[in-house]
Amino acid sequence: MPAGEPPPARHEIRVHAPRAGLVAVIVDGDETVLRRSGSDWVGSVPVGSRYGLRATGRSGDRFDGRRILVDPAATGVWFPDGHRRDHARPDGEPDPATSPLAVATPWPARTSPRATGRPLVVYEAHVRGMTRRRDRNDAGTFAALIDELPRLVELGVSVVELLPVHQFDPDEGNYWGYMPLVFGAVHSGYAAGDDAAQELAALVAAAHRHDIEVWLDVVFNHTTEEDADGPTYNLRGLADADYYVLRPDHSYVDDAGTGNIVDVTSEAAQRLVMAALDRLADLGVDGFRFDLASVLSREPAFVRGIGDWAERRRVRLIAEPWDMVRYQVGRMFPDPRWKQWNDRFRDDVRGFLRGWPGCAA
């Protein structure tokens, strides 16, 4: 949203579900069928409203009209007090009262990245873990992390790399956040108030004032929906075959060790990833470190397309160039413009510092 413009009264939604017979949006118990537009379904909801989706179609395509789904392109997600992950599993009883809902939250005004003028010294940080033991009401949030920046400057840090801040399922049990629910929404649990994206933008702006870049660890290779026994929150219930890599028997390929991998050869998946990157870059983020980036390299043209996008947006790209099947550290990654995490060098340095046998004389 351009700076100075009032927020729109309606929030536009577009849902990719080409094989659905019907997709409806639910706001305050009222259901409205969305309008089909090619492979998508389009409509709008009031700004600030909580809304869910319902999709019907052939059961073989994993549609389940009893379930309330989260918009994959949501700008925010709300979880009711009674939310339970097990309710979204195949053997769970769907309960609309405990289902997470998308929130039609306006996105903050676009800001630009700001490259540091100092040598790159990267400090990897978990938003909650960094300040959770501080004696303050907002411990474990973006706001609390702002007050840590002067100390990081004293340490010589010029880049803060935040572990994943995508919205994840608070009932999933993974402290680290590596099981994303919505790629382009910021995890509400890291906010002191009601607008997590705005609070992340404030952290980025504060870091820039200290000549510190902010990079985000992003996870686009898999989602929190796991395998066929996992919960159905959005992608599986809307366009399973377009978003995930499936075998001929419709089981899930699991090269990430998480139950599924995203099918980056699909235009729908590519659009979802790029929309999330654009949205996060609009917060002023300076770089993106891609978890298990080798999953994305199954479509080399897509990796190069991200490289082109990064040049236009003036952001850095860093690959973790491996997964459970591929190891691409060095020259094998399809775009040399991406920097790479080198795990062997990391392990050697760690071993030397710890005095491990064979690593130190």
Q: For residue 153, tell me if it sits in a domain.
A: yes
In a domain, 254, yes or no: no
Which stretch of DSSP H or E encloses residue 39? none
**Do 185 and 320 sit in the same domain of this protein?**
yes
Are 71 and 182 found together in one domain?
no
The active-site residue out of 199, 291, 323, 335 is 291
Per-residue pLDDT, 58: 86
Q: Look at residues 106, 131, 162 and tell me which one is the last residue of a structural domain.
A: 106
User: By the 8 A CB rule, do 158 and 121 touch?
Assistant: yes
Residue 6, pLDDT above cutoff 70: no
CATH number at residue 56: 2.60.40.10
The answer to whether residue 297 sits within a structural domain is yes
The domain total for the chain is 2
| pLDDT bracket for residue 4 (50, 70, 90) | low
Does one domain contain both 217 and 92?
Answer: no
The pLDDT of residue 361 is: 63
pLDDT at position 359: 85
Same domain, 87 and 130: no
The answer to whether position 72 is within a domain reads yes
Last residue of a domain, one of 37, 72, 106: 106
Give the domain range for residue 43.
10-106
Q: What CATH number is attached to the domain comprising 161?
A: 3.20.20.80
Tens digit of each residue's pLDDT (9 = 90 or more) over 285-302 = 999 999 999 999 999 999
pLDDT of residue 358: 83
Q: What are residue 216's DSSP bridge partners?
A: 162, 288
Binning pLDDT at 50, 70 and 90, where does residue 99 land?
very high
pLDDT above 90: percentage of residues in the chain: 89
- Measured CA to CA, the distance from residue 85 to residue 103 in angstroms comes to 19
H or E element at residue 341: none
- 323 and 216 together in one domain: yes
In a domain, 282, yes or no: yes
Task: Convert the pLDDT of each residue in 142-190 to its tens digit.
Answer: 999 999 999 999 999 999 999 999 999 999 988 999 999 999 999 999 9
Q: Is residue 133, in this structure, part of any structural domain at all?
A: yes
pLDDT at 61 exceeding the cut of 80: yes
CB 223 within 8 A of CB 168: no
Return mean pLDDT, the chain.
95
The stretch 26-33 carries a mean pLDDT of 96
**pLDDT for 229 beyond 90:** yes
Residue 235 lies in a domain: no
- pLDDT, position 184: 98
Q: How much is the average pLDDT of 52-79? A: 95
The DSSP annotation for 211-236 comes to T-EEEEEE--S--TT-STTS--SSHH
- The share of the chain scoring above pLDDT 70, in percent, equals 98
Q: End of a domain among 80, 106, 132?
A: 106
pLDDT at 333 over 80: yes
pLDDT, mean of residues 344-351? 88
Domain match, 50 and 150 both? no
Q: How many CB atoms within 10 Å of residue 173? A: 8
Active-site option among 40, 161, 286, 320 = 320
345 and 302 fall within a common domain: yes
Q: How far apart are CA 295 and CA 106, in angstroms?
A: 31
What gap in Å lies between CA 234 and CA 113, rounded to an integer?
31
Judgement on whether residues 289 and 316 belong to the same structural domain of the protein: yes
> pTM value?
0.94
Q: Could you give the angle at the alpha carbon of 343 between the alpha carbons of 337 and 349, nearest 5°? A: 115
Does an H or E element contain 143, and which?
helix 142-146
Residues 70 and 186 in one domain: no
In this predicted structure, the answer to whether residue 8 has a pLDDT above a threshold of 80 is: no
Tens of pLDDT, residues 247-267:
999 999 999 999 999 999 999
- Give a yes or no: residue 47 inside a domain: yes
pLDDT at residue 1 tops 60: no
Whether 81 is catalytic: no
Does one domain contain both 167 and 305?
yes
For range 190-205, the mean pLDDT: 97
Which pLDDT belongs to residue 110? 96
Q: 144 and 81, same structural domain?
A: no
Q: Are residues 54 and 201 in the same domain?
A: no
User: Residue 60's pLDDT band (boundaries 50, 70, 90)?
Assistant: confident
- Structure-block tokens of residue 224: 């929190």
Known catalytic membership, residue 291: yes
Output 348 or 267, whichever has higher pLDDT: 267
